[in-house]
Amino acid sequence: MIVTKDMIIGDILRQDIELAPILMNSGLHCLGCPSAQAETLEEAGYVHGLDVDLLVDKLNDYLAAKVM
């Protein structure tokens, strides 16, 4: 799996729940709220003032290390 900023947060978590701490540590604390089920990573990042490209890199770095 590769995370992109146009992915829905709920879909990302359904693929790998272990990504939740990275999202939460980045400032996305309402992963269980209804918005997370329909909001893209980019939309949530904009609302929370996050650097989405950096967050996507962190998520994908985690996933790449997990595969090895």
One digit per residue, the tens of pLDDT, for the chain of length 68 reads 899 999 999 999 999 999 999 999 999 988 888 877 889 999 999 999 999 999 999 999 999 998 87
- What pLDDT, on a 0 to 100 scale, did the predictor assign at position 30? 80
Token pair in block for residue 27? 């400032």
Q: Which residues neighbour 51 within 8 Å (Cβ) at sequence distance 6 or greater?
A: 45
Give percent above pLDDT 90 in the chain: 76
Catalogue the long-range contacts made by 7-13 (C-beta closer than 8 Å, 24 or more residues apart). 7/40, 7/41, 8/37, 8/38, 8/39, 8/40, 8/41, 9/36, 9/37, 9/39, 9/40, 9/41, 9/44, 10/36, 10/37, 10/38, 12/41, 12/59
- What pLDDT, on a 0 to 100 scale, did the predictor assign at position 9? 94
- What pLDDT, on a 0 to 100 scale, did the predictor assign at position 34? 83
Does pTM surpass 0.95?
no
